[in-house]
């Protein structure tokens, strides 16, 4: 029955996509027939699929390969009962397939682990076949998706010898979804989880979500907002969560829940949530037992504590370690994890929010329990268009750290702006912490190789929702895809990821694909140019964060206001984080610290992040700071305009529906880029008191008009 359900749902996914082939629903799993001229060049020898066994995962593999290969090759690819012919694709494990067992690959497969895989062209029984093998069924699933990816992107598949395993163990999407169906920082419709219908009715779309995640190696999903509602831990909701977990399980996606630290009080009627109170610890242990009884492969808790008003251990004069380890003890008997978010900051005299997480957590290095991961945002502020890497990376060698990226574009134009985030994440992952000398990159912290970390993970705040195309903008599907690929291998080049996604999602036509790849790879720098050039940060409109408001000072906390971050005055611009200022630059290891701390050596991309720079400071271009700043804003606008023209020229290559929808988004992006440029240069001009340099267009409105209302989205 389960096999029939999976097959029917996969078929519905494919047929639904074909019925409205270019609405974006199929993501990168578009198994449309490749052009016959391309098949003639690559001549993939695929005659049949051989997957023996009857587990939910093996059945999913069989359905995926049959449907995918049949669609891509334009003719039926059947299930094989034997291999007495060339071109059979044999998939499985040594336990599920006697053919794979005959190859005696057990030692090699064991080294790759249950999620790793081997794809090899071999001779079996005198016939040329392709073997996709793994120690575990999930590895065979990942290998099958990789094989389909090779064909989708026109790679030769007749002489394969590929071995892969994930570099990071937990590769996880964080959904900031609320129980009422809304999504915090969500810009693509409502939540994917219909809590009111669950557990009796499970939306078939959840299987499509699981398939998409498995295709890029994502193996964890946090279902609820880190600003958690304790109700998610009630028996009623846990049964709903269990129904979701049942759908995800064949595809290797384990569910996680955000746990509200005060849940023992709100659900259990206790008078305290003090982690040192034995009654509180017993409540959490009983709750963990209940969860794992319903969901045996439950992943664990994600916790946002004592941050932005959320309850936590410091409410009771306990430490973050005290809170995390109490929860860890409750989950440890079930091999569950605690993912403790490092997004914590306090207001105090002389305070610099960029240094708060380090100050709060670094003293506890080595004191977290063995099943705790400390989840650290990529930068020290809050998912800004560009930030230096977080100083905790390389700063806590005895603690299990996992990076947290934001796929949803809270500070990057919501779902209206085309921004390929792989370039931004690549910049962070490649950053050298110098924790153990040169080469101590953030990527090596993430994969555990720098400090022999036993548990590793990486999280991305999801950008998915109920919109038909999942992400609100067709191009922003690429960021979901890129996150999965980088989580699997943090060293993958942005260009390779972009090329794969374009070939699988938009087109394999070389010239068009090259144009689109260049647009994607340039997009992040362009958005930084028209939003926050030269190290500016957090100058968005208060609350919703859409559009510019460098003048904003209405928030109840100083560090929620843009004026706190840019510190513009008649002398110059920027936040002094050197020894003469907050000295948070001192949280980095000496080679990094010294480079950032000196005005002469600080990369200009982070100049205003670390320095308050005089308006007349001479930049590397020979221009003064004011002119350079204004020209960056103009350059960002120019890029969007040029991109609109280039996209319009692709009308005959990209299907009309998606082409038209992207064109509308690019029009909004140009409007917004102009608004950003004009509002920012007008505001900062009130301090610099200098004219706009040649090449920068005159603003269309007055500063008063820009201050009057925010951009609409």
Residue partners of 37: CB distance under 8 A and separation at least 6: none
Structure tokens at 334: 């079930």
Angle at 493 between CA 495 and CA 24, to 5 degrees: 50
Cα angle vertex 496, ends 150, 168, to 5°?
85
> Could you say which DSSP state residue 711 is in?
P
- State how far the Cα of 513 lies from the Cα of 519, in Å rounded to an integer: 10
H/E segment holding residue 400: none
Contact 507, 578 (CB under 8 A): no
Distance between CA atoms of residues 466 and 662, nearest Å: 18
Q: Is the dihedral of CA 478, 480, 481, 487 positive or negative?
A: positive
Classify burial at 438, counting beta carbons within 10 Å of its beta carbon; exposed 0-12, middle 13-18, buried 19 or more.
Answer: exposed
Tell me how long the chain is.
713
CA–CA gap between residue 38 and residue 320 (Å, rounded): 57
Distance separating alpha carbons of residues 489 and 495, to the nearest angstrom: 14
From 382, 404, 525, 576, the catalytic residue: 382
Which among 678, 227, 183 has a CA at the least distance from the CA of 465? Answer: 183
Active site residue 410: yes
Task: Compute the distance between CA of residue 176 and CA of residue 256 in angstroms, rounded to an integer.
Answer: 12
Classify residue 50 by burial, with Cβ atoms within 10 Å: 0-12, 13-18, 19+: buried
Q: Is 308 an active-site residue?
A: yes
> Rounded to the nearest 10 degrees, what angle do helices 656-688 and 510-531 cross at?
30
Query: Burial letters for 654-692: b for 16+ Cβ neighbours within 10 Å, e otherwise?
Result: beeebbebbeebbebbbebbbbbbbbbbbbbbebbeeeb
Given 308, 430, 648, 705, the catalytic residue: 308
Question: How far out from the chain centre does Cα 1 lie?
Answer: 34
- Please check whether residue 89 is in contact with residue 115, taking contact to mean a CB–CB distance below 8 angstroms: no
User: Is the Cβ–Cβ distance between 236 and 290 less than 8 Å?
Assistant: no
User: Cα angle at 443 between 438 and 446, to 5 degrees?
Assistant: 125
As a whole number of angstroms, the distance between CA 96 and CA 100 comes to: 8
Q: Of 16, 31, 14, 11, which Cα lies nearest the Cα of 505?
A: 31
Query: What is the DSSP code string of 321-356?
Result: HHHHHHHHHHHGGGT-EEEEE-------TT--GGGH
Q: Is 430 a catalytic residue?
A: no
- The DSSP output letter for 684 is H
Q: Which residue has the tokens 């958005």?
A: 527
Given 115, 177, 322, 410, which residue is catalytic? 410
Cα pseudo-dihedral 519, 521, 525, 530, rounded to 10: 20
Rounded Cα gap, residues 52 and 59, in angstroms = 9
The residues, any chain, with a CB within 8 Å of residue 309's CB and separated by 6 or more, are: none
**Cβ(625)–Cβ(614) below 8 Å:** yes
CA distance 461 to 396: 23
Which residue is associated with the tokens 């299987």? 207
Could you give the residue numbers annotated as active site? 308, 382, 410
């Amino acid at each position: 029955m389960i096999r029939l359900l999976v097959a029917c749902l996969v078929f519905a996914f494919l047929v639904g996509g074909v019925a409205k082939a270019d609405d974006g629903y199929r993501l990168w799993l578009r198994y449309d027939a490749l052009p016959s001229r391309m098949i003639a060049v690559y001549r993939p020898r695929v005659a049949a699929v051989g997957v023996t066994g009857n587990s939910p995962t093996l059945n999913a593999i069989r359905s995926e390969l049959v449907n995918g290969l049949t669609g891509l090759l334009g003719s039926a690819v059947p299930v094989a009962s034997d291999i007495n012919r060339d071109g059979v694709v044999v998939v499985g494990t040594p336990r599920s397939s006697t053919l794979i067992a005959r190859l005696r690959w057990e030692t090699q497969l064991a080294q790759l682990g249950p999620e790793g895989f081997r794809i090899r062209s071999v001779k079996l029984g005198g016939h040329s076949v392709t073997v996709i093998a793994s120690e575990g069924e999930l590895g065979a699933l990942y290998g099958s998706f990789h094989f389909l990816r090779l064909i989708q992107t026109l790679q030769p598949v007749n002489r394969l010898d590929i071995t892969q395993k994930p570099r990071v163990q937990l590769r996880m999407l964080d959904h900031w979804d609320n129980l009422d169906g809304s999504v915090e920082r969500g810009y693509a419709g409502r939540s994917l989880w219909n809590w009111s219908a669950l557990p009796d009715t499970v939306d078939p779309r959840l299987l499509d979500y699981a398939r998409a995640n498995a295709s890029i190696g994502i193996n964890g999903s946090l279902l609820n907002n880190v600003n958690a509602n304790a109700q998610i831990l009630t028996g009623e909701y846990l049964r709903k969560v269990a129904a979701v977990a049942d759908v995800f399980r064949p595809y290797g996606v384990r569910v996680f829940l955000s746990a509200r630290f005060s849940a023992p009080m709100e659900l259990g009627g206790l008078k305290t949530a003090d982690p040192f109170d034995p009654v509180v610890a017993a409540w959490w242990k009983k709750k963990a037992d209940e969860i794992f009884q319903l969901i045996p492969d439950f992943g664990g808790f994600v916790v946002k504590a004592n941050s932005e008003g959320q309850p936590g251990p410091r409410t009771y004069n306990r430490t973050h370690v005290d809170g995390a380890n109490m929860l860890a003890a409750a989950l440890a008997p079930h091999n569950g994890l605690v993912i403790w978010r490092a997004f914590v900051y306090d207001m105090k005299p002389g305070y610099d929010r960029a240094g708060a997480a380090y100050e709060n957590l670094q003293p506890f290095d080595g004191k977290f329990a063995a099943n705790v991961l400390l989840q650290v945002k990529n930068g020290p502020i809050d998912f800004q268009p560009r930030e230096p890497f977080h100083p905790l990376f390389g700063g806590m060698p005895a603690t299990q750290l996992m990076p947290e990226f934001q796929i949803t574009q809270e500070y990057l134009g919501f779902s209206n702006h085309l921004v390929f985030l792989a370039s931004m994440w690549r910049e962070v992952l490649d950053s050298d912490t110098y924790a153990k000398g040169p080469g101590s990159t953030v990527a090596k912290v993430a994969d555990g190789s720098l400090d022999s970390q036993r548990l590793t993970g990486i999280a991305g705040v999801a950008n998915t929702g109920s919109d038909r195309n999942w992400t609100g903008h067709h191009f922003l599907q690429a960021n979901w895809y890129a996150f999965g690929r980088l989580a699997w291998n943090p060293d993958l080049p942005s260009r390779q990821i972009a090329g794969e996604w374009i070939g699988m999602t938009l087109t394999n036509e070389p010239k068009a694909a090259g144009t689109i790849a260049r647009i994607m790879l340039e997009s992040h720098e362009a958005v930084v140019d028209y939003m926050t050039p030269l190290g500016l940060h957090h100058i968005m409109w208060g609350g919703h964060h859409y559009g510019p408001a460098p003048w904003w000072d209405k928030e109840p906390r100083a560090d929620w206001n843009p004026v706190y971050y840019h510190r513009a005055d008649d002398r110059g611009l920027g936040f002094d984080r050197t020894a003469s200022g907050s000295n948070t630059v001192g949280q980095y290891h000496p080679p990094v610290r010294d480079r950032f701390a000196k005005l002469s050596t600080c990369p200009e991309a982070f100049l205003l992040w670390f320095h308050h720079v005089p308006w007349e400071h001479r930049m590397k271009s020979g221009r003064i700071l004011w002119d350079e700043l204004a020209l960056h804003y103009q350059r960002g606008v120019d890029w969007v305009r040029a991109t609109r023209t280039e996209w319009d020229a692709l009308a005959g290559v990209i299907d009309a529906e998606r082409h038209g929808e992207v064109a509308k988004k690019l029009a909004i992006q140009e409007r917004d880029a102009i608004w950003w440029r004009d509002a920012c240069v007008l505001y900062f001009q009130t301090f610099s008191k200098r004219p706009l340099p040649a090449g920068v267009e005159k603003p269309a409105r007055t500063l008063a008009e820009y201050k009057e209302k925010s951009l609409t989205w």
